[in-house]
């Protein structure tokens, strides 16, 4: 027997299960990153001196990454919109782009990390670098998670489009919500770590 | 806007493009401002202000929070409160040591 | 109530205020517990099935409980506004000026309390973590001119009575907690921070022992572990008139043997070192033995001790 | 009642008395999927099987955590004496010649706290009762995300295994208290790393679980089951889920940071200038030990309400059922519950009054702490008043549920002096605190959990637990729990610190209350013996217990409308229930029988 409201919304709440579920998950993610940002604030307030991000970190690369991530958010929402308009081919294209952009983000990040390590700048060097690596590293893990999910929906998971299009669209929407959240975290991370 | 209808989705695609342009523009603005090396306080205020606008755009349009259900709003409001608590109270404790 | 609760003797100026709040809250608690308890038992008996076949769907109709809840809330509010918050702001975190107090530094480490007095000049010498060694646990820089007369002790805190004491607490390694139950003082010691704590002792160790003295039943091999009963309030004589135990002597195994031989089975005694620093924060495997001794003396005795120790500690 | 509705009412009142839920499973609802052994019992996605898995694992951990404490209590009662028979088995690293080392004592203490809280009580209260009962009570066929549910159990299992393994690594298990305060925990032995990994698993498990509970409750409620008709137990689980959802992530963050400190050499929690055992610590410094405390207590305070709310839920169900009347002030209880949940996020620093807190901040946290005691009082008062006018049956579950009330009362009331900062100066980190919270979690929550087991056992197995053994278990537990924890208040008031390897033997101020240690320990061991009837009962009744009907307690909530031991593989109900009334319609005036199930349409 099927669990109700996986595809259609429950009339009185107006939501299907996964959507409520992912929002709850995102709420917990807000608290997770919130704690780390709180750590950042506390360490910075308590430190006798704190470096400016731009003295240590690579702003052009990070700006590039911001552009990449924002673009991937757009392609993600477009992939969902394509499904809504019943254009499966377009979906495939946009979703594919999203994945590629995400990979691009990781590659740039990899360069950034590599450059730091080659200069002997490890997390143990200072609390600034410690929080920098922890925050961006955790964000990077979220990007990887997003890539895995999106690749599944781009590849094998997309078969569901032919059997249960409504439910598949829901799934992409939910994956999108998560992906936009990853973008959203970066939108704060970028100025906080790099620009201040 | 009810996003369960294909027509409405078509319209919203335009909005997505506009939002994309706005996000790019704001990214450039925030980087540009950072090269001015404002005082720490001013820099924080400006940077967080811009970031909040960007986040607002992403949440409202890409995550269609602008037309979401009350239930979600309630849950997020709750989260926002606790988020603020977590940001503010530990720092206050830190700034007000015993004997002041 | 205070006796009923078994609060230890209080030898500080602010302690009564803390005890007062403890006592008041416990009265409140007792009142509520007994009140509810009586209602509870009565209800259980009265409405048991064998007496009450049919339940009343609604039950209680009065609103008395709401008034009760409001009353408790008001009482708690009064406790807060009338006692707890003022005590915290006027006593705990209102520090005396340094001129007005004896300033001592205490540095905690696994598992000891290092005490640092400024000496006659009243100025603390520099401490440097790179100088820390076996016989200089504070890392005191003796080349610093003001450090010359500084006095350092381990696990021994001597203080004058009736004087404000202001202690600067730091830790070398982990979090400890500077607790002196008899002074109603407890303050976490957090590495990386200097935290102050203050109090004013109102009794010397002698007076404390005097008021703590009680009768102990003695038997062979039964000296309380780690604590030597001492300072018998009156001496004990053997039948031949010789003195077995004099005021201030320790009750050792030997003495107990002798006393028992004389048919004495009780002594009036008090702990030798009643006042102690108890580490109240888990700080590692030796947490349980991180005990310091506090000796409260008269001003003269204290000065004497300082002078003697200063000599003894000459480097 | 409209004509139409009366017509549709298929069950006649007399029928309803005999069969609260139809016995014949309608084939179009319940699928009899034949699953293999592994899918059925091990990697099950059915909420009931998962609930049972959680239950058994949780009980075993409870027993294990208790055993650790039984060892510790020997050392506290007879410091430095060899433990007869058992001692030598632990080997020279832990108990040379049977005498416990302080290192090992600290490991046992930290692991007792961790295991009891995270691996024992929460999995039982939320994982087991929540999983098994909640979907049934809201008339759902399963949880909203069955696979996540399974993942949640297995994450918990892995967390448990990680924690157990940590006893066998060099240096032994974590030994810095369940609070794992930095810097002590950062410089501790390898067991601490495993503790942190274990916690990450457990947090993941809780997050998956809590999302599932929230979505299930909101989305899968039966038709007609509006929020104000939810059984109080469901409400308690819902609020609990929110606590887990929003409070755990900061601890996860803190755990990650501590892992970084331990493994990547960072200094989030290490200030500059540390000297450990006379040697300066080679780290960058600049961190804050207080940061850990804030993040830890941000979770751990809400966590303690996670330990108590499901217990209150269970007790409320049982009281309504055994007084045969509705809960008094149901709505005020629900509002109090929600308010309690909300407030629990802003009181955490009452655990940190003595970390050097200024007047403003301490006043804030004292005030919120006093405020949070009010909703507890409202709920407890409502439960007391619910007894008034009832027809009270002293069944075994009811005995446990009733005992919960005063026990929670003692625990809660002793929270008040702790919540005021000045008394906390004297009481902080003494046995008074240990007494305070154990009264809530042991004679409180544990008794409530036992009550729940006795109450719902017939639903799960179709058989009843033996009442005689149950009553022996009850009186034994009740008496000895008090014997264990009451003297702790006396010790605490005298100023005896907690976490002392020798129970305070070297302190002068402890001498007057030292003799109580033996009394406490003996009570604890007798408490252990008192569990034997329960364990026997638990296993024996599965086979030999008295068979009972689907709705043995003549209760009103939906779980009793399902068949006994509802079939696995989704589909708990023969027909999907529809709800027509509030949760506790007992003894309605003018009705024939003294209970009217929620799914019963009308009764003439
Ligand atoms: C389930 C667990 C639980 C619950 C519910 C509570 C509830 C409360 N706790 Fe407790 N607490 C802990 C578990 C819990 N606590 C733990 C584990 C610790 C120690 C952690 C550690 O350091 O390791 C702790 C420590 C702790 C401290 C820190 C002490 C210290 O370290 O110095 C404080 C201080 O404010 C505190 C306060 C309170 C208060 C005010 C409540 C209030 O919510 C209580 C409100 C309840 C009432 C006021 C009761 C009302 C009673 C009745 C209505 C009935 C009367 C009944 C009869 C007569 C039949 N608790
Ligand atoms: C939920 C939490 C919980 C529970 C239930 C308990 C239960 C008990 N606790 Fe514990 N305790 C803590 C949480 C808990 N504790 C914490 C957090 C600490 C602080 C740790 C620290 O310092 O860091 C602590 C510390 C602590 C100390 C202080 C140690 C110290 O400071 O050095 C003591 C001392 O006596 C103690 C004793 C006990 C006892 C005797 C029980 C008894 O009540 C136990 C009763 C248990 C049972 C009765 C088990 C029943 C199980 C079954 C019947 C299983 C049946 C099985 C099947 C059917 C398969 N505990
Ligand atoms: Cu130092 Cu405990
Ligand atoms: Cu708390």
Q: How far apart are CA D262 and CA D283, in angstroms?
A: 11
Q: How far apart are CA D232 and CA D312, in angstroms?
A: 9
pLDDT at residue B1 tops 60? no
Averaged pLDDT for residues D60-66: 97
Q: Does C94 touch chain B (CB under 8 A)?
A: yes
Q: What CATH architecture is D37-268+287-561?
A: Up-down Bundle (1.20)
Q: Give how far C123 is from chain B: nearest CA, Å.
A: 22
Half-sphere exposure of D39 (CA within 13 A, CB side): 8
- For residue D297, the ligand closest to its alpha carbon is 4
How much is the pLDDT for A196? 83
How much is the pLDDT for B36? 86
> What is the pLDDT confidence band of residue D3, given thresholds at 50, 70 and 90?
very low
Q: How far apart are CA A88 and CA A71, in angstroms?
A: 20
Query: Which tens digit of pLDDT belongs to each residue from D509-568?
Result: 998 899 999 999 999 999 999 999 999 999 999 999 999 988 999 999 999 988 777 766
Averaged pLDDT for residues A175-181: 97
- For residue C169, the ligand closest to its alpha carbon is 3
Backbone angles phi, psi at A166, to 5 degrees: -60, -45
pLDDT at residue C201 tops 50? yes
Averaged pLDDT for residues A84-113: 96
How much is the pLDDT for D21? 37
How much is the pLDDT for D511? 86
Averaged pLDDT for residues B62-85: 92
Of the ranges B8-12, B70-74, C150-154, D517-521, which one carries the lowest mean pLDDT score?
B8-12
Are residues A184 and B55, on separate chains, in Cβ contact within 8 Å?
yes
Dist. CA D436 → ligand 1 center (Å): 6
Report the number of distinct structural domains present in chain B: 1
How much is the pLDDT for C228? 65
Q: Are D327 and D319 in contact (CB under 8 A)?
A: yes
Query: With DSSP H G I counted as helix, E B as strand and the rest as coil, what are the percentages for chain D, rounded to 5?
Result: 65, 0, 30
Residue C279 parent element (H or E): strand C276-279
Query: Which tens digit of pLDDT belongs to each residue from D112-134?
Result: 999 999 999 999 999 999 999 99
Q: Does B67 touch chain A (CB under 8 A)?
A: no
Averaged pLDDT for residues A47-64: 90
Let me know if residue B100 belongs to a domain: no
Q: Give how far D246 is from chain A: nearest CA, Å.
A: 5
Sorted by sequence, the CB contacts under 8 Å of residue D474 that are 6+ apart come out as D396, D399, D400, D403, D450
Which percentage of chain A shows pLDDT scores above 70?
A: 99
Of the ranges C46-55, C260-269, D42-51, which one carries the lowest mean pLDDT score?
C260-269
- List chain C domain ranges: 2-48+63-93, 98-202+293-313, 205-270
- Which of D246, D359, D361 has the CB atom closest to B92's CB atom? D361
Q: How far apart are CA B20 and CA B54, in angstroms?
A: 10
| Fold annotation for C98-202+293-313 | Immunoglobulin-like (2.60.40)
pLDDT at residue D373 tops 60? yes
- Closest by CA position to A136, among listed A78, A182, A83: A182
- Closest by CA position to D238, among listed D259, D222, D261, D216: D216
Are residues C132 and D278, on separate chains, in Cβ contact within 8 Å?
yes
Q: Are D523 and D97 in contact (CB under 8 A)?
A: no
Residues 10-39 of A with CB under 8 A from D: 10, 13, 15-18, 20-21, 24-25, 27-29, 31-36, 38-39
How much is the pLDDT for C227? 61
How much is the pLDDT for D16? 36
- List chain D domain ranges: 37-268+287-561
Are residues B47 and A63, on separate chains, in Cβ contact within 8 Å?
no
Are residues D390 and C59, on separate chains, in Cβ contact within 8 Å?
yes
Dist. CA D418 → ligand 4 center (Å): 9
CATH 3.40.50.300 fits C205-270, yes or no: no
pLDDT at residue C232 tops 60? yes
Q: How far apart are CA C120 and CA B22, in angstroms?
A: 70
Instruction: Give the structural domain span for B30.
Output: 3-95
- List chain A domain ranges: 29-37+54-195
> What is the pLDDT confidence band of residue C225, given thresholds at 50, 70 and 90?
low
Q: Give yes or no for residue C172 CB within 6 A of ligand 3.
A: no
Substitution target from B78, B79, B83, B86 for chain D, most D beta carbons within 10 A: B86
How much is the pLDDT for C260? 83
How much is the pLDDT for D227? 95
pLDDT at residue A152 tops 70? yes
Q: What is the CA radius of gyration of chain A?
A: 19
Q: How far apart are CA C205 and CA C207, in angstroms?
A: 5
Could you say which of 1.20.120.80, 2.40.50.100, 3.40.50.2000, 4.10.320.10 is the CATH number of the domain covering A29-37+54-195? Answer: 1.20.120.80
Query: CA-nearest residue of chain C to D319?
Result: C44
How much is the pLDDT for D28? 41
Q: Is D483 exposed, middle or buried (0-12, 13-18, 19+ CB in 10 A)?
A: middle
How much is the pLDDT for C315? 44
Task: Give the predicted TM-score (pTM) of the model.
Answer: 0.94
């Amino acid at each position: 027997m099927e669990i109700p409201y996986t595809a259609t919304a429950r009339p009185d709440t107006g939501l299907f299960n996964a959507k409520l579920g992912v929002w709850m998950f995102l709420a917990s993610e807000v608290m997770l990153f919130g704690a780390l940002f709180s750590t950042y604030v506390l360490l910075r307030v308590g430190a006798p001196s704190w470096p400016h991000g731009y003295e240590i970190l690579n702003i052009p690369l990070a700006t590039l990454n911001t552009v990449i991530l924002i673009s991937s958010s757009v392609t993600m929402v477009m992939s969902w919109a394509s499904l809504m308009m019943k254009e499966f081919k377009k979906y495939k294209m946009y979703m594919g782009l999203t994945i590629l952009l995400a990979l691009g983000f990781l590659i740039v990040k990899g360069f950034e990390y590599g450059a730091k390590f080659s200069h002997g700048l490890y997390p143990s060097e200072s609390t600034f670098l410690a929080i920098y690596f922890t925050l961006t590293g955790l964000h990077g893990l979220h990007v990887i998670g997003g890539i895995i999910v999106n690749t599944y929906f781009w590849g094998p998971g997309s078969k569901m489009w032919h059997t249960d299009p409504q439910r598949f669209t829901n799934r992409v929407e939910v994956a999108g919500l998560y992906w936009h959240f990853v973008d959203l975290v970066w939108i704060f991370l970028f100025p906080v770590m790099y620009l201040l | 806007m009810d996003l369960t209808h294909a027509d409405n989705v078509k319209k919203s695609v335009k909005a997505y493009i506009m939002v994309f342009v706005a996000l790019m523009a704001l990214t450039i603005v925030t980087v540009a401002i950072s090269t001015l090396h404002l005082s720490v306080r001013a820099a924080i205020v400006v940077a967080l202000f811009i970031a909040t606008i960007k986040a607002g755009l992403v949440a409202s349009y890409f995550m269609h929070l602008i037309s979401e259900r009350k239930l979600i709003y309630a849950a997020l409001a709750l989260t926002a409160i606790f988020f603020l608590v977590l940001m503010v109270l530990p720092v206050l404790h830190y700034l007000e040591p015993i004997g002041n | 109530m205070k006796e009923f609760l078994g609060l230890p003797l209080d030898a500080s100026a602010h302690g009564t205020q803390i005890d007062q709040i403890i006592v008041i809250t416990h009265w409140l608690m007792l009142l509520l517990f007994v009140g509810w308890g009586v209602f509870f038992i009565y209800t259980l008996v009265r409405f048991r099935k064998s007496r009450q076949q049919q339940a009343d769907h609604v039950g209680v109709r009065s609103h008395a409980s709401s008034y009760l809840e409001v009353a408790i809330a008001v009482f708690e509010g009064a406790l807060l506004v009338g006692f707890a918050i003022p005590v915290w702001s006027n006593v705990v975190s209102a520090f005396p000026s340094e001129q007005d107090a004896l300033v001592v530094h205490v540095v905690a480490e696994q598992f000891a309390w290092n005490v640092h007095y400024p000496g006659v000049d009243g100025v603390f010498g520099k401490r440097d973590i790179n100088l820390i060694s076996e016989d200089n646990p504070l890392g005191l820089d003796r080349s610093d001119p003001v450090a010359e007369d500084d006095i350092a002790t381990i696990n021994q805190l001597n203080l004058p009575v009736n004087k404000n004491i202001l202690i600067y607490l730091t830790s070398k390694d982990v979090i400890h907690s500077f607790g002196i139950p008899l002074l109603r003082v407890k303050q976490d010691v957090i590495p990386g921070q200097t935290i102050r704590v203050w109090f004013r002792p109102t009794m010397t160790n002698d007076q404390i022992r005097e008021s703590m003295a009680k009768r102990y039943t003695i038997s062979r091999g039964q000296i309380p572990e780690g604590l030597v009963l001492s300072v018998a309030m009156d001496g004990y004589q053997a039948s031949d008139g010789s003195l077995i135990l004099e005021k201030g002597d320790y009750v050792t195994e030997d003495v107990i043997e002798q006393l028992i031989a004389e048919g004495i089975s009780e002594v009036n005694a008090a702990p030798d070192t009643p006042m102690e620093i108890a580490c109240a924060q888990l700080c590692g495997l030796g947490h349980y033995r991180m005990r310091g001794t506090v000796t409260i003396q008269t001003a003269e005795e204290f000065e004497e001790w300082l002078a003697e120790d200063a000599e003894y500690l000459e480097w | 009642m409209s004509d139409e509705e009366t017509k549709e009412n298929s069950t006649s009142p007399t029928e309803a008395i005999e069969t609260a839920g139809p016995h014949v499973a309608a084939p179009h609802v319940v699928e009899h999927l034949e699953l293999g052994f592994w899918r059925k019992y091990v990697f099950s996605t059915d909420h009931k099987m998962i609930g049972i898995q959680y239950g058994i694992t949780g009980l075993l951990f409870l027993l294990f955590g208790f055993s650790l404490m039984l060892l510790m209590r020997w050392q506290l009662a007879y410091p430095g004496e060899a433990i007869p028979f058992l001692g030598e088995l632990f080997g020279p690293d832990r108990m040379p010649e049977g005498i416990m080392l302080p290192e090992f004592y600290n490991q046992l203490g930290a692991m007792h706290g961790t295991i009891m809280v995270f691996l024992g009580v929460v999995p039982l209260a939320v994982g087991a009762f929540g999983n098994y009962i909640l979907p049934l009570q809201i008339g759902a066929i399963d949880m909203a995300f069955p696979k996540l549910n399974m993942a949640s159990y297995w994450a918990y299992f892995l967390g448990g295994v990680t924690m157990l393994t940590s006893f066998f690594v060099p240096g032994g298990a974590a030994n810095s208290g369940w609070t794992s305060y930095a810097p002590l925990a950062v410089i501790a032995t390898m067991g601490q790393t495993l503790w942190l990994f274990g916690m990450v698993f457990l947090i993941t498990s809780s997050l998956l679980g809590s999302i599932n509970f929230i979505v299930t409750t909101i989305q899968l409620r039966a038709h007609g089951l509006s929020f104000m008709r939810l059984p109080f137990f469901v409400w308690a689980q819902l609020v609990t889920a929110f606590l887990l959802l929003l409070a755990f992530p900061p601890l996860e963050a803190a755990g990650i940071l501590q892992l970084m400190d331990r493994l990547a050499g960072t200094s989030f929690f290490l200030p500059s200038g540390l000297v450990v055992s006379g040697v300066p610590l080679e780290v960058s410094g600049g961190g804050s030990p207080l940061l850990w405390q804030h993040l830890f207590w941000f979770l751990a305070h809400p966590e303690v309400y996670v330990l108590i709310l499901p217990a209150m839920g269970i007790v409320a169900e049982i009281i309504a059922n055994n007084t045969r009347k509705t809960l008094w002030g149901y709505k005020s209880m629900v509002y109090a519950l929600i308010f309690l949940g909300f407030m629990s996020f802003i009181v955490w620093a009452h655990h940190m009054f003595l970390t050097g807190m200024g007047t403003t901040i301490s006043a804030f946290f004292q005030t919120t702490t006093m405020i949070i005691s009010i909703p507890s009082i409202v709920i407890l008062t409502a439960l007391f008043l619910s007894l008034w006018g009832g027809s009270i049956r002293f069944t075994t579950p009811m005995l446990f549920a009733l005992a919960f009330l005063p026990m929670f009362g003692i625990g809660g009331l002793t929270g008040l002096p702790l919540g005021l900062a000045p008394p906390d100066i004297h009481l902080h980190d003494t046995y008074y605190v240990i007494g305070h919270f154990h009264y809530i979690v042991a004679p409180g929550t544990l008794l409530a959990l036992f009550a729940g087991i006795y109450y719902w056992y017939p639903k799960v197995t179709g058989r009843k637990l033996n009442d005689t053994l149950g009553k022996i278990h009850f009186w034994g537990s009740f008496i000895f729990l008090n014997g264990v924890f009451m003297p702790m208040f006396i010790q605490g008031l005298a100023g005896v610190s907690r976490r002392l390897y020798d129970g305070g033997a070297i302190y002068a101020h402890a001498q007057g209350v030292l003799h109580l240690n033996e009394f406490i320990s003996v009570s604890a061991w007798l408490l252990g013996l008192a569990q034997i009837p329960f364990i026997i009962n638990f296993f024996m009744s599965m086979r030999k217990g008295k068979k009972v009907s689907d709705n043995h307690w003549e209760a009103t909530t939906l779980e009793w409308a399902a068949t006994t031991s509802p079939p696995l593989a989704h589909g708990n109900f023969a027909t999907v229930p529809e709800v027509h009334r509030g949760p506790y319609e007992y003894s309605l005036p003018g009705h024939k029988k003294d209970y009217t199930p929620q799914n019963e349409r009308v009764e003439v």
